[in-house]
Amino acid sequence: MSGRENRGAGRIEAAVEKIRSEDRVGLMTHIVLGYPSMEESMKLVETMAGCGVDFIEIQIPFSDPTADGPVITRACQAALDGGVRVQDAFEFMDAVSGRFELPFLFMSYFNIAFAYRQAASGGRGGADGVAGFAAAAAAAGSSGLILPDLPPEMVREGYKAACGSAGLHPVYVVSPNTGRERLEVIAEAGSGLLYATSRTGTTGKEMELEMRELTGFLSLARETCGMPIAVGFSISRREQVESLRGHADIAVVGTHFIRVWEEGGREGLKAELKELTGA
């Protein structure tokens, strides 16, 4: 995979342009790689892509997923117990980005990149790890990276430069209590998309979107950052997706689809995807 131009470059921009031209809210789905197995992960991507989702977020499992609720935390631990490693993620990304034209993004935590060792170049983690991780992610076809525990005020270990050199978008996560000053820092540090949570806390908690507070924040975020906005956390119904129309470009659904897959398998997931996309 090394030395190859990133096939994922430009896919985020193309997907956002398509969504806006069709005057709709796009859909980003989420899988935990290796849960419940690598084979099932591929079936999940096939189903999601076949149902017309706009983006797919591939989570590299980590032992302490601090931004995630119990469902995704459990899925991460099961994947790790099953032996999933970072190299598996690169190989999986290489396969899916070659089969499907939509943008795929890696989601994980900063320690995964910081500790990455690229054997071929003798990398030892740290700045070498970050650069090696970004290069490998790009070579596999990732369009961007989402590391929710990396503060934008701390451009640590050359992260922004590593993403820029690799042709990856560093996508930052913000919540409705993020102020203008911090959003201005993110506008300089990030690119491609802004990932906004619908509330504070972790993923997966059942609660209604607080639309008055959220839409005010999204307006501030769009004005300050000038990036397309994806909104995640607690989205599980079509009316919630539609409530974002005019305020955000993309709805992100993760925990809900894990539950649907566990309960209804592939056919259940297809039905739910059609419901959320309005297909």
Which residues, listed in sequence order, are joined to residue 56 by a DSSP beta bridge?
A: 29, 104
What element of type H or E holds 229?
strand 229-232
185, 196 contact by CB (below 8 A): no
Give the number of other Cβ atoms within 10 Å of residue 52's Cβ.
12
| Four-point Cα dihedral 17, 68, 131, 84, nearest 10 | -110
> Could you say which of 5, 22, 40, 57 is catalytic?
57
Strands 26-32 and 144-146: unpaired
Integer-rounded Cα Rg, in Å, for the chain is 17
Angle, helices 38-50 vs 86-99, to 10°: value is: 30
Q: How far is the first Cα of the chain from the last one, in angstroms, to the nearest whole number?
A: 36
**CB burial string 222-252: b at 16+ within 10 A, e below:** bebbebbbbbbbbbbbeebbebbeebbbbbb
> Could you say which of 54, 68, 94, 272 is catalytic?
68
Cα 13 to chain centroid, rounded:
15
266, 47 contact by CB (below 8 A): yes
Asked if 213 is an active-site residue, the reply is no
Asked if 54 is an active-site residue, the reply is no
Please give the Cα distance from 32 to 112 (Å, whole number).
Answer: 15
Just list the catalytic residues: 57, 68
